[in-house]
Structure 1
């Protein structure tokens, strides 16, 4: 999702079990055409993948830490709310032209650089998720749905400011203590993913603790010791996040 209007790409090498992201102006399209009626022929599994992938693209640029960027925050929240409203319609009926149009436009806006202007990005969910795809062939969006709630739990205190904002503005959670609101927001996010038929536990895909060991070891070998918006996603946090999702 989003490759119709950005210069991001990934490449996999099956022989070594690797999946890596890269950015190049050579993959930025000169023009692109989006056809909702063609997208409506996709199987429900891929429609669900697109919804969740777009959702997490926004989250990676939004749920970092407060930087007094109210317009960027509200751009991001508008996309999240649209995905929450339109996603289930498209999942239930991919041939719904209007809903698919709104979904596709949201997916484009989620990763064309507009919402990232002047704000920090995280992208550690993607870095971890890529390894689950590399080792087990799990669909990209499904790896994100696994990793995201675990990473939020592992960094709950560090990301509390934006998690509270997300809880209140996106999920309309206004009652309870700060911790209760954050926990409810995480639960609502998981419920949204699972309503689209996307499981959020490693065990749902037959992934065991030895894969966590492999991912942590690989990050250490690559010297990926401080991923995320403030370098908070260390190998230890990566392990903790994935253990939450066993």
Structure 2
């Protein structure tokens, strides 16, 4: 394994009574009374969660900022930063899924600078402080509730880039699995794909020895897959929602990548697609990850064979290639079985876009830690996914 330092300061408050602890959690991080409430399209109002939160925040002066998009846009974040500065906001509460939380992370950091928020994303400037913020999670998918990463879309330039800073770990995240009961099916499916993709990105890593990580990743992935099938049939099955919620969190809070970085090429490939076509991140990953696996598998067949053994318990008597195929088909078939898309053409994306996508992925040159991809490789993966 590579040498590493593990750090994660986010307080995770998990369970049916977690949201009721909101006032005392905020009080740990600010004595101020000016709160900004960030959220997405308004589903929190339909579900009753908004009223519940506002009751808990009755002693605070709350400024609402809704409308953060599923792929959070720079223009929206920039407007929120202006409000934070104008109102002198003391604390931000992000209520939503990964997109709301990702957007809030940039709001937090950019509100302490005079620069364009995009300068933070493109690493032209490094933030040195941020407005403290916490989260109430409504979608289990990205793990953003317990990490320091964020992905922002610049719709004007069709760029979708990831960035991160130790300053933007949430101070706390409140997770109540009951909130997931009312999720639309497609959001549950996308969340399952997203969390599994994070595990896949880390399983295929650059380390010579990742035995502990392999075991943890395989175990979590198996439980997510089982719970996913149950939750889609029984949306109010608490145990299944509990497993999906915690599974998505630990999939990307650093626990699974101690001693290596993981690959992350598929995320880069997907970001180029959703930056142009604005499709859901999980949907894009469901299409592109099996294509990446197919393309890369012959470069390291022993790793892919081990994946099939670890996750799908394939018969040890199978040949190496049979194991490789079983692992790739296992992922593709599972995602298809739960209703995830399988082809770029499902979204009317054609080969005409592939070169544009590929050029966007290569803005910093070849990429991928497990296996480096150049333009020819990226184009081939898009072809496999068409």
TM range (shorter): over 0.9
Distance 1:154 1:85 in 2: 27
The Cα shift of 1:29 comes to: 0.6
SS at match of 1:233: coil
Aligned mate of 1:47, from 177, 188, 197: 188
- Work out which structure has the larger RCO, using CA pairs closer than 8 Å and 6 or more positions apart in sequence: 1
Distance 1:4 1:218 in 2: 28
Aligned mate of 1:121, from 262, 266, 277: 262
Structure 2 residue aligned with 1:146 = 287
SS at match of 1:12: strand
Q: RMSD of aligned C-alpha atoms?
A: 1.4
Asked whether the equivalents of residues 143 and 251 of structure 2 are also in contact (C-alpha less than 8 Å), the reply is: yes
Structure 2 residue aligned with 1:111 = 252
The Cα shift of 1:77 comes to: 0.7
Asked whether the equivalents of residues 212 and 239 of structure 1 are also in contact (C-alpha less than 8 Å), the reply is: yes
Distance 2:154 2:260 in 1: 32
The Cα shift of 1:137 comes to: 1.2
Moved more, 58-67 or 192-201: 58-67
SS at match of 1:40: helix
Structure 2 residue aligned with 1:239 = 379
Q: Deviations over 1:93-130 (max 9, x none)?
A: 22111110011111111000011000241000100101
The Cα shift of 1:176 comes to: 2.8
The Cα shift of 1:26 comes to: 2.8
Structure 2 residue aligned with 1:74 = 215
Question: Rg: which structure is higher?
Answer: 2
Asked whether the equivalents of residues 272 and 358 of structure 2 are also in contact (C-alpha less than 8 Å), the reply is: no
Distance 1:132 1:159 in 2: 26
**TM-score between the two structures when normalised by the length of structure 1:** 0.94
Q: Deviations over 1:38-94 (max 9, x none)?
A: 111111110111111000001101123562221111011111111111111112222
2:334 is equivalent to residue 189 of structure 1? no
Aligned mate of 2:306, from 165, 171, 174: 165
* Cα distance change of structure 1 residues 24 and 66 upon mapping to structure 2, 3 Å threshold: closer
Structure 2 matches for 1:7-26, cutoff 5 A?
A: 7-26=148-167
Asked whether the equivalents of residues 2 and 108 of structure 1 are also in contact (C-alpha less than 8 Å), the reply is: yes
Structure 2 matches for 1:204-223, cutoff 5 A?
A: 204-220=346-362, 222-223=363-364
More helix per residue: 1
The Cα shift of 1:25 comes to: 2.2
Distance 1:97 1:216 in 2: 42
**Unmatched 5+ residue regions in structure 2?**
1-141
Distance 1:24 1:219 in 2: 22
Q: Which runs of 4+ in 1 moved over 4 A?
A: none
SS at match of 1:207: coil
* Cα distance change of structure 1 residues 6 and 223 upon mapping to structure 2, 3 Å threshold: closer
Q: Deviations over 1:141-180 (max 9, x none)?
A: 1111111111111111223222111111211122432112
Distance 2:210 2:154 in 1: 39
SS at match of 1:155: helix
Distance 1:132 1:216 in 2: 9
SS at match of 2:174: coil
Q: What is the number of residues matched between the two proteins?
A: 244
The Cα shift of 1:185 comes to: 1.4
Asked whether the equivalents of residues 204 and 370 of structure 2 are also in contact (C-alpha less than 8 Å), the reply is: no
Distance 1:233 1:91 in 2: 35
**TM-score between the two structures when normalised by the length of structure 2:** 0.61
